[in-house]
């Protein structure tokens, strides 16, 4: 995957579907995740004539780490990519841990809207119990993150190793209590293989991106949701044990421009698999 050189010397992995346009979708992957998780989306966007770009967030795959980053810091990286590719208008789409990062993009002047798919809400606020309804693995993981970098680093070394070599045939078992029936139903065949390959790519070099994401999510994001003025579309199901649906209701409540599409019975992964066409059409509408 091509590397993009940033002004501070770091590099990012970038995937561009090659459509010649000054308008684009910018995709933000989940936690953990990798640019390759959007491969099918890039192809679908190309078929629809939409330029689309995905990248691996700092610390994932061969993207260099950005120690101490916060959610809002992603805007500097994305702005440089937009400059280099002559993009003057974009929609940001983020899944799961990419949700806050796509919302941060609404503060980039060229952004015309954001779409968050099962995006995580804020930690440590009075009106959202961040961990309620999550699988036990997330309780352990974020419990470690709250104790600081050294503890979450050790937690990763002790628990995350199997994800570095996960295959499609064992991806469901690897997710454990974090996925329900809806996600298990779509994680088979090519979908399972693609998810596993993306996880392997994400963690091929280190756990740094995953560690830094976890640390990012237990501190302030660096912007106020109430200050968002661009259109925001939220998608969420209720068979989700990675990011429970209470998070989407919380985001809808605090983002003045938010519209929530709630899909009963859908999970964390299935919502993006089943509704890709509708979500891309929504993005295309924002770009027009």
pLDDT digits (tens, 9 = 90+) for 259-280: 999 999 999 999 999 999 999 9
Q: Give the whole-angstrom CA distance, residue 277 versus residue 41.
A: 9
Beta bridge partners of 24: 51, 90
Q: Give the whole-angstrom CA distance, residue 49 versus residue 29.
A: 22
Beta-carbon contacts of 101 under 8 Å, excluding residues fewer than 6 positions away, are 28, 57, 71, 74, 92, 94
pLDDT in tens, 113-139: 999 999 999 999 999 999 999 999 999
The mean pLDDT value for 237-250 works out to 97
Q: Give the whole-angstrom CA distance, residue 58 versus residue 205.
A: 12
pLDDT in tens, 136-156: 999 999 999 999 999 999 999
Domains and CATH numbers, the chain: 3-287 (3.40.50.1820)
- Quick one: pLDDT at residue 1? 87
pLDDT in tens, 46-64: 999 999 999 999 999 999 9
The mean pLDDT value for 162-184 works out to 96
Mean pLDDT over each residue of the chain, to the nearest integer: 97
């Amino acid at each position: 995957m091509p590397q993009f050189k940033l002004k501070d010397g770091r590099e990012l992995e970038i995937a561009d579907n090659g459509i010649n346009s000054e308008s684009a979708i910018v995709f933000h992957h989940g936690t953990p995740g990798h640019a390759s998780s959007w491969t099918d989306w890039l192809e679908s966007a190309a078929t629809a004539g939409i330029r689309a770009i995905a990248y691996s967030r700092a610390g994932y795959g061969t993207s260099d780490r950005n120690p101490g980053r916060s959610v809002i810091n992603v805007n500097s990286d994305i702005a440089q990519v937009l400059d280099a590719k002559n993009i003057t208008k974009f929609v940001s789409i983020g899944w799961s841990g990419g949700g806050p990062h796509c919302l941060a993009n609404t503060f980039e002047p060229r952004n015309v809207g954001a779409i968050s798919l099962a995006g995580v809400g804020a930690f440590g606020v009075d009106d959202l119990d961040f961990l309620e309804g999550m699988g036990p693995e997330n309780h352990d993981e974020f419990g470690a993150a709250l104790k600081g970098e050294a503890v979450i680093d050790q937690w990763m070394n002790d628990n995350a190793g199997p994800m570095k070599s996960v295959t499609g045939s064992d991806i469901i078992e690897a997710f454990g209590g974090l996925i329900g029936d809806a996600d298990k139903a779509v994680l088979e065949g090519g979908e399972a293989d693609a998810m596993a390959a993306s996880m392997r790519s994400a963690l091929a070099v280190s756990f740094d991106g995953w560690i830094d994401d976890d640390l990012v999510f237990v501190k302030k994001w660096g912007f106020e949701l109430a200050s968002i003025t661009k259109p925001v579309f939220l998608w969420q199901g209720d068979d989700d044990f990675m990011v429970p649906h209470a998070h989407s209701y919380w985001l809808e409540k605090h983002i003045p421009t938010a519209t929530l599409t709630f899909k009963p019975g859908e999970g964390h992964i299935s919502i993006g698999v089943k509704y890709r066409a509708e979500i891309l059409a929504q993005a295309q509408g924002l770009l027009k």
